[in-house]
Amino acid sequence: MRVALVNHRSAAYGAQLRLLDLAELLPEHGVELTLVAPAGPFADRWRRRGLPWVDVDLPAQGGVRTPSGGRPGPAALTREMLASLRGARRLVPVLRRFDAAHSLHPFAHVPVVLAARLARRPAVVEVVDIVSPGLGRSVLGVALRLAAAGIANSEATAAAAGSRARLRVIHPGVDLVRFRPGPADRAVRSSLGARPGVPLVGIVGRVNPVKGIETVVQAVALLGEPDRRPRLVVVGDAGVGGDRYQEALAAEAAAVLGDGVTFAGRRDDVPEVIRALDVLVNASRAEPFGRSVLEAQASGVAVVGASGGGIPEFVQDGGTGLLVPPGDAVALAEAIERLLGDPALRAALGRAGRRQAEARFDIRDRPGLLAEVYRSVR
């Protein structure tokens, strides 16, 4: 079965990297996944693994919310609708070459389902973000009704989509070979700004306004005097907020933590980075799933996650990690302090996280689940 994976943008974040891992395993289940996307970082990664790619330059779209979270005016919404129609027209001849289409990026959902209808091919819509109530959720609902099937990466994401009955939840998996327990590499710790004897607390993911990084900065600042605090490292590049947001955040963090914080940028050695941490934190306001948290659990690293979104679906408070309310810097500081002050608890949570990853989240189980969805729409 030949499936076209349509991704509207060229960036490679958690959802894209997950499909990249699955694409290599899907042929064992009778599926060839071809990326249909513009040239860029995601297409480059895809091609380097020897996977098929079709270069399609889809019209630029910005969604139905402004960068500040408001609703665009009538002219902007009209441009968005026309861009969707142009994108659908460009996709029709491409999708006719495949047995089904899989829409990954939110901006691709409407063009893909329209193009699939015109090409007489089934479409699968994957929801990877928690969509706020309003026009965006309504548009997503239309796309799901036009699609042959839908996938969500967590129960929280499915519930927010407002179309739970049409969505099958398939939690992301983790590569248990790459992400495994092991000693921290001193050179990696040094590259992250760590100093001997100083604990390293890290965030791994997009530097994005919704990720709650400001809360982590505030929490670390509450952990005593500068010479007694853990070091904070932020690993990832600019997301939706762009470089301007990242620069403002870095300036704010430096003002609060001085030289006790490192913005390490995007890294290709994420497994080694995670093993170098003493604690991994995700303080997102509404995390759809939390890929880096699962990767840390698989690596035997203790985690602290926010109790909203999808993280509670695989982080049990006091069992496989600690949970704190989103946006609560005091509770987050207490959780970090608890873990850093109790090595036995830290190790126990790390072991429990690894056991859970082995039992529930092995990436080798995911291609079969995805192939079932594809076969169901033929």
**282 near 205, Cβ under 8 Å?**
yes
Give me the residue spans of the domains in the chain. 2-173+363-376, 186-360
Q: What does the pLDDT average to over 162-188?
A: 91
Q: What does the pLDDT average to over 189-199?
A: 93
242-270 CB burial, b ≥16 within 10 A, e <16: eeebbeebbeebeeebeebbbbbeebeeb
Q: What pLDDT is attached to residue 14?
A: 79
Q: Is residue 68's pLDDT more than 60?
A: no
The residue type found at 165 is A
β-sheet bridge partners, residue 281: 304
Q: Is residue 360's pLDDT more than 70?
A: yes
Q: Is residue 66's pLDDT more than 60?
A: no
CA angle, corner 326, sides to 325 and 329, nearest 5? Answer: 85
User: Mean pLDDT, the chain, as a whole number?
Assistant: 91
What Rg value do the Cα atoms of the chain yield, rounded?
A: 21
What's the pLDDT tens digit per position in 257-282?
Answer: 999 999 999 899 999 999 999 999 99
* Sequence-distant contacts of 244-250: CB under 8 A, at least 24 apart: 245/207, 245/208, 245/209, 246/207, 249/207, 249/213, 249/214, 249/217
What's the pLDDT tens digit per position in 78-100?
Answer: 777 888 888 899 999 999 999 99
Q: What pLDDT is attached to residue 173?
A: 96
Q: What pLDDT is attached to residue 64?
A: 57
Cα distance between residue 197 and residue 153, in whole Å: 38
What values do phi and psi take at 40, rounded to 5? 155, -170
Q: What does the pLDDT average to over 291-297?
A: 97
Q: What pLDDT is attached to residue 112?
A: 95
Q: What pLDDT is attached to residue 289?
A: 95
Q: What pLDDT is attached to residue 164?
A: 61
CA angle, corner 21, sides to 310 and 171, nearest 5? Answer: 20
Q: How confident is the model at residue 311 (pLDDT cuts 50, 70, 90)?
A: very high
Q: What pLDDT is attached to residue 174?
A: 96
User: How far is residue 41 from each of residues 105, 122, 269, measured CA to CA in Å?
Assistant: 15, 28, 16
- Lowest-confidence segment of 33-47, 153-167, 224-238 by average pLDDT: 153-167
Q: What pLDDT is attached to residue 239?
A: 65
Q: What pLDDT is attached to residue 258?
A: 93
Q: What pLDDT is attached to residue 133?
A: 80
User: Residue 296 has which token pair?
Assistant: 């840390």
Q: What does the pLDDT average to over 8-24?
A: 85
Q: How confident is the model at residue 24 (pLDDT cuts 50, 70, 90)?
A: very high
| Same fold flag, 2-173+363-376 and 186-360 | yes
Q: Identify the CATH number of the domain defined by range 2-173+363-376.
A: 3.40.50.2000
Q: Is residue 69's pLDDT more than 60?
A: no
Q: What does the pLDDT average to over 63-85?
A: 68
Q: How confident is the model at residue 115 (pLDDT cuts 50, 70, 90)?
A: very high
In terms of Cα–Cα distance, which of 16, 11, 17 is closest to 41? 11
Q: What pLDDT is attached to residue 67?
A: 53
Percent of residues, the chain, with pLDDT higher than 70: 94
The CB density around residue 197, as the number of other CB atoms within 10 Å, is 5
Q: How confident is the model at residue 290 (pLDDT cuts 50, 70, 90)?
A: very high
Which of 126-135, 152-161, 245-254, 344-353 shows the highest mean pLDDT?
344-353
First to last CA, the chain: 9
The CB density around residue 376, as the number of other CB atoms within 10 Å, is 12
Q: What does the pLDDT average to over 154-172?
A: 86
Burial class of residue 165, CB neighbours in 10 A (0-12, 13-18, 19+): exposed
Strand order in the sheet with 322-324: 261-265, 231-235, 200-204, 279-282, 302-306, 322-324
One of 3.40.50.2000, 3.40.309.10, 3.40.605.10, 2.40.50.100 is the CATH number of 186-360, namely: 3.40.50.2000
Greater confidence (239 vs 85) lies with 85
**365 near 248, Cβ under 8 Å?**
no
